[in-house]
Amino acid sequence: NAIIPTLVAGTGQSIGACVQASLLVLLGVCIGSLNFAVLASLARWTVAQGILFAFSVYWLSYFKAGDERLFIVFLTGILMGFDGIMVSKNNNNQFLPEFLLADAASYLFGLAIAILVNFLILPTTSERELREMLVTSLDHLESLSRLVARAYVIVASEQEMNMGDVLMQ
């Protein structure tokens, strides 16, 4: 379980992306812990467990479909719910809170690894990416303004007009 947040939390990306992904992992652990506790508590009623698990999969996938960044919330919530079902089945249909804490701790351990790597070993800011995007945008703006000026005085060729159309998109 520790590997999933380590990979998904944006290790090697910018610090802001890592913080955002870490918050989503924490949200997923909270939802997954609730899912684990509810499903493990219903261990004696397997039909109710199945119905609630199907409902939680539907509910989490519905929100994931709206925003792709919520994939880790979906994945963590579903995996922790499944762990709750399996733990309760392996322990004579009993809910043992120690297993919930151990499961949540494994996800948080992976998250801590990702944060430490991103902040201490591979600290990256998005300043370089921003500068590259800014230079590209300014270059396009310069080309577009030159083409608009040439089109305004009607000295632009057909090729320059087509280039202007491409830059407008």
Closest CA to 61 of 79, 49, 73, 47: 73
Nearest to 119 by CA among 18, 22, 7, 9: 18
d(C-alpha 82, C-alpha 49), whole Å: 10
Q: What single DSSP character describes residue 117?
A: I
Contact 69, 116 (CB under 8 A): no
Give the pLDDT confidence of 32-78 residue by residue, as tens digits: 999 989 988 888 888 988 899 999 888 888 877 777 778 888 888 88
Residue 125 has pLDDT above 70, yes or no: no
Which H helix or E strand runs over 80? Answer: helix 71-90
What is the predicted pLDDT for the residue at 96?
Answer: 84
Task: Report the predicted TM-score, pTM, of the whole model to 2 decimal places.
Answer: 0.68
